Structure 1
Amino acid sequence: MNSKLVIAHRGASGYLPEHTMEAKAMAYAMKPDFIEQDLVLSKDDVPIVIHDIYLDDVTNVASVYSNRKRKDGRYYVVDFTFDELQCLKVTERFNPKSGKQFYPKRFPKGKSNFKLHSFQQEIELIQGLNYSTGNSIGIYPEIKNPEFHYENQKDIARIVVDILFEYGYKTKEDKCILQCFDARELERIRIDLQSNLFLVQLIENDEEVEKLYSYAKYADGIGPWYKQILDVKENEKWKFTSLVNDAHEFGLKVHPYTFRADQLSEFSSFEEMMQLLFYEANIDGAFTDFPDKMVAFLKMS
């Protein structure tokens, strides 16, 4: 964990619909250090690789199961069995109300034929490719919304940790980093579930930034939003917050999210973004929708 890490965010999601097997295979070929898996449980307790607890912004669930939405109008992964989920088609992310594609210049919405898959299927794909190619690319799963799962009588953390153990991911030396936004749940994974994996505490607001000391008691790194590292721009030059330095003082690695070459509001180029955050702010790794661009940049740097 001493080099700068490239983490393929939802696979090669800048090129293919996020969290599809095709996006993961394409990401693998780009040779990142890790490939990310967001995990949500199905009705029959199968961890599904999907970013949200909802289905209606990346699949055709509204047309296939029009009578299965909840009172809030949303369709939830947890209300469908794994076999039922296999009947859906996955597409590029879109707004369920307007139907408008979220990233208009990415893979065209509704084209080709993509499916949902289980965590186990993706592990077997990545481990199989490691075996056949001789590479050693890791997995970087995220446990999504554990509180919601508890409300639906499900313990997603225990299920995921058991699967990881079964597939040989047991210690910090194994090529697996486990992440979660819920601090209580990540601490439970370390203490109650007795996991020895490399754990990363995801953070999304400034209040959480102040808790590095408590995170360091159970976590090995943090995953902040990259904007939490940027402070102000003076004379066309960025200044940075103390977050990265503070985290390093507590022995925590820093892997911010998400680097997107097609969403550069603060930067003149993707290369400028990477140069500033990797080398001036001194981050340890980053999540990107464009792993090929980040791999190439770090090779040249």
Structure 2
Amino acid sequence: MAATAAGLTGSLLLPAAQAAKPARPLVIAHRGASALRPEHTLAAYAKAIADGADFIEPDLVSTKDGVPVARHEAFLSETTDVAKRPEFASRHVRKTIDGVTHDGWFVEDFTLAELKTLRTIERIPQSRPGSARYDGMFQVPTLEEVIDFLAAQSATVGRTIGLIPELKHSTYFARLGLPLEERVIATLAAHEYTRRAPVEIQSFEVANLRMLREKLGKRANLRLVQLVGVGPVKPSDVAATGGSLTYADMATPAGLRAIAEYADVFAPPTRALIPLKKDGRLDTPTALAADARAAGLRLVTWTFRPENRFLAADFRDGAGDDARNEAGSIAEMRRYLALGLDGFFTDDPALGVKALAG
């Protein structure tokens, strides 16, 4: 790579300034158009762009040789054909990462060359048989390949498409000697496209975002996004260091003001904004949207999915849990958009575009 983290502040981003607030909520392609193509493949990103997404999201993990690649987590068994590859049978292990234990295969045990021999598969084929028809067709892309592809697609469609990478398992990878932050920002710095196009770096952890803000300052095309879960769960880096901060603490007015000191965007799950009643229908909105705006944060939520099993009961159509329900998904997104969102993650960007059309 031509750039290093040390040279990042002078080479990655535009001069320091606050980026303009979007004219309308941003449609963010969650793992690409992951309702229609196997997640985190160039095909999923291409479909998302064709369907009108403003941003594509590559979740990033590290190979054994330190290359950032697009997978939702380190666990490879659910999204690649690794279980069918006898040459890698001996690498089947049990690991606990960020409190979750899996038996299978993990990205950090594969070099990039080895990972490139695998092919992707659909994570939930029972709900997405159309996507599962693409099983075995695509490779796991590197971050560098994603950026090259995004630049080419942007030139083809005639509009700038943003990149919103998420740093996954940062503390875990750092302990393995495979720190994501330095490699990711060096890759971003090496590409002309990501030196000028919108880039939003996300994490469920806190320390890495604080470090990035301290190193990068405020930049015109860069935003930092604090993702949060719900309840008494601690961010992984906080848990690893024995801290007490929980996602519930972060969602209080005081917690949001603290987030605003280093991040630009607050991104809770949808049900933290409008929870569900016991019958599965939407309840009264919480104060979280208003509190985030009061703290000076942009508000983005995750994730809208088009199958009945993922919808609030208000919007299901009775066709079965695995049935695709476009009208219900659009109606649910519109209910949340009424809260004044600045953006939202969706597995089906075409439906997000329709939801915004009114």
Per the TM superposition, whether the score is higher than 0.5 is yes
Let me know the Cα RMSD of the aligned residues: 2.1
Is residue 303 of structure 2 the alignment partner of residue 278 of structure 1? no
**Bigger shift: 262-271 or 50-59?**
262-271
Report the alpha carbon displacement of residue 231 of structure 1 after superposing the two structures with TM: 4.0
Aligned residues: 291
Instruction: Tell me which of 166, 185, 209 is aligned to 2:251.
Output: 209
1:66 counterpart SS class: helix
* Distance across 1 between alignment mates of 2:314 and 2:191: 41
Determine the structure 2 residue equivalent to 1:297: 355
Contact in 2 for aligned 1:257/1:288 (Cα 8 Å) = yes
Inter-partner Cα distance in structure 1 for 2:291 and 2:284 = 15
Alignment CA distance shift 1:102-1:155 (3 Å): farther
- 2: distance between equivalents of 1:177 and 1:225? 17
Change (3 A) 1:19 1:225: same
The more displaced of 159-168 and 196-205 is 159-168
Counterpart selection for 1:190 from 210, 213, 216: 213
Correspondence for 1:54: 75
Counterpart among 222, 229, 232 of residue 273 in structure 2? 229
Q: Show the counterpart of 1:125.
A: 149
Q: CA deviation at 1:194?
A: 5.0
**How big is the shift at 1:155?**
1.4
Higher helix share: 2
2:299 counterpart of 1:254: yes
For structure 2, the residue ranges without an aligned partner over 5 or more in a row are: 1-20, 96-102, 232-247, 316-327
User: Following the alignment from structure 1 to structure 2, what is the Cα–Cα distance between the partners of residues 112 and 62?
Assistant: 13
Distance (Å, rounded) in 1 between the aligned partners of 2:311 and 2:28:
19
Aligned to 1:97: none
Partner of 1:98: none
1:52-91 alignment, distance < 5 Å:
52-64=73-85, 65-72=88-95, 73-91=103-121
Percent identity of equivalent pairs: 31
Provide the rounded CA distance (Å) in 1 between the counterparts of 2:205 and 2:282: 34
Segments of 5+ residues of structure 1 without an aligned counterpart are: 95-100
The normalised TM-score by structure 2 is 0.76
Greater shift after overlay, 266-275 or 149-158? 266-275
2:311 aligns with one of 238, 256, 264: 264
Look up the SS of the partner of 1:239 in the other structure: coil
Q: Which amino acid in structure 1 is aligned with residue 251 of structure 2?
A: V
Cα–Cα, structure 1 residues 9 and 81, in superposed 2: closer, same or farther, change >3 Å?
same
